[in-house]
Structure 1
């Protein structure tokens, strides 16, 4: 998650804003026969003032699933949307609307700023309990841990996150787990390598390691994204003893559509090349930040990607990655 977008998140969290229209009352339980929402689920963030209606995006693009951001600490070892909105509050309408349209949601826990559960919770058992509250509140079949900043840099909080993921995997048969983190153009940095190796040591059984290959300050986003993913593949092979195909299946890409925080441009053509690479290699996840920004600009920095585009151009490309 970028510093710019998370600073906007923090402001929205303080204001507690949410703009979602009324939807029919639907069950929040996960569809019994739904496929996992891990592979192709672009990020949707309710903390900005004018989030897209997911049902409209689904109808326009064919996308089924979304990654709903962000779960943070409410100041204690207790999860809340943006750290301010309770799990049984207004965000439930978004989950219900997506499920009512035949899709599903993977919640994103963490992000760049705010109080992280992995730091506030004092041990792996209590952190696993916080994750379990999120899972139970909606019957989620997958969770995304977006581990960044001090939660990522601190070995102790890294270990708590990994150990907690191991616990919830053991307690929830069939649950799929994603860890999302920053990267270098060459692949995981030393901190990322440490995290992956530690997961292998304790048997954390993470399903997909997803890198965010942007904010490098580079000029060829396709080449940088591919080189970062190839680097991740090699780290996964070394840590877990995977072959190429298995390593790719445990790797993912989470790009940023349009203009990144450092001025890089991920246009539709570049993003399509990334998607083609992801499909060719059989990656376990292909997504981007965010659906909120996937529309023509109207002057609001949280409502567009800063490039010439039609509504939902990038979401349509992710929809093509659906299994």
Structure 2
């Protein structure tokens, strides 16, 4: 129930940060906002194949990144490591077996010192291989696993392939947080309402995957990940939309909020462009980070 304090180590709010870019740093973002948990994007396969590297190119133990993570952790912060994403090469592709993939997951988690993994699926994966690796990881370490998944539409929820990933996870007894990407899907009406509708539709899908769980239990397994400001395919998440989504999240006691991304959370390009370094809307520095800090 909502009155029980979360167990130690749970993370309920962790904006995504493109850790391949030198700014913003984790400690810089934490100092500016007080937010001390972040999702690091993305651990991919390097040129040799099944070996994790940031963005596929930066060594996983790169001192700039690891020293930044350790400094954040020294302040009581923590990170979630995200794999997958929009680009690749996915570890989930280049690691040929579940055992090899498990080894890659362990390497990146051990290097950064966390037990939180997010698998961001925006391409086809070998579902059995990936969930077998994740189940083994969770069995050995109790790792918190989330799946960040594409939304098909505001009335549909996540796309059919994403739903099949969850069905396989449930069959294997893998516990996952379901994190629909509330971005870049077709909609009608108000965008804030559309994001909420997509989250509710995803919840409906989760009821079919885990029919024995209560609604409250399912909501605790639901994450929300919007894209702040201008989205890639035309819609715009305004501050008002963010507040609307936050109010729904708080009223429904969902499990997690993230957003793409910390490096965009500034008013450097109020002209409506889509950029990795600014939101495309008029805003104050860190405005969306501070809005979602209201998640209880």
Tell me, yes or no, whether TM beats 0.5.
yes
> Conserved in 2, the CA contact under 8 Å of 1:113 and 1:149?
no
Aligned length: 281
Match among 227, 233, 242 for residue 262 of structure 1: 233
Instruction: Output the CA distance in 1 between the equivalents of 2:103 and 2:84.
Output: 15
Q: Distance in 2 between matches of 1:176 and 1:140?
A: 10
**TM-aligned CA distance change 1:53 to 1:120, over 3 Å:** closer
**Equivalents in 2 of 1:97, 1:312: separation in Å?**
20
Q: Alpha-carbon deviation of 1:217?
A: 4.1
Matched ranges for 1:164-313 at <5 A: 164-173=133-142, 175-184=143-152, 185-186=154-155, 187-206=157-176, 208-218=177-187, 219-241=189-211, 242-297=213-268, 301-313=275-287
5+ long unaligned stretches in structure 2:
1-6
Preserved contact between residue 50 and residue 91 of structure 2 (Cα < 8 Å): yes
Q: How does 1:2-151 map to 2 (within 5 A)?
A: 35-37=9-11, 39-48=12-21, 51-75=23-47, 76-89=49-62, 90-151=64-125
**Quick one: distance in 2 between partners of 1:300 and 1:209?**
26
**Contact 2:274 2:280 (8 Å CA) reproduced:** no
TM-score normalised to the size of structure 1? 0.82
Distance 1:269 1:179, change over 3 A: same
Q: Normalising to structure 2: TM-score of the pair?
A: 0.89
Shift of residue 302, structure 1, vs aligned partner: 2.1
Are the equivalent residues in 2 in contact too, given 1:42–1:287 (CA < 8 A)? yes
Partner Cα separation in structure 1 for residue 231 and residue 26 of structure 2: 23
Helix, strand or coil at the partner of 2:196: helix
Segments of structure 1 that go 5 or more residues without pairing to the other structure are 1-32, 152-156
Write the distance in 1 (CA, Å) between the matches of 2:281 and 2:121.
28
The structure whose RCO (Cα within 8 Å, separation 6+) is larger is: 1
Supply the distance in 2 between the matched residues of 1:310 and 1:282 (Cα, whole angstroms): 28
CA distance in 1, matches of 2:164, 2:55: 28
Q: 1:160 aligns with which of 112, 116, 129?
A: 129
Whole-Å separation in 1 of the counterparts to 2:61 and 2:44: 15
Q: In the TM superposition, what whole-angstrom CA distance separates every residue of 1:146-193 from its partner, at most 9, and x where no partner exists?
A: 111233xxxxx12222111101001103x2111101112120221122
Measured after TM superposition, the shift of residue 145 of structure 1 is 0.7
Alignment partners' CA distance in 2, 1:136 and 1:47? 19
CA RMSD of aligned residues (A): 1.8
**For the residues of structure 2 that align with 1:87 and 1:319, how far apart are their CA atoms?**
29
Choose between structure 1 and 2: higher strand proportion.
Answer: 2
Q: CA deviation at 1:305?
A: 0.6
Aligned partners of 1:292, 1:211: CA distance in 2, in Å? 21
The 3-state SS of whatever aligns with 1:222 is helix
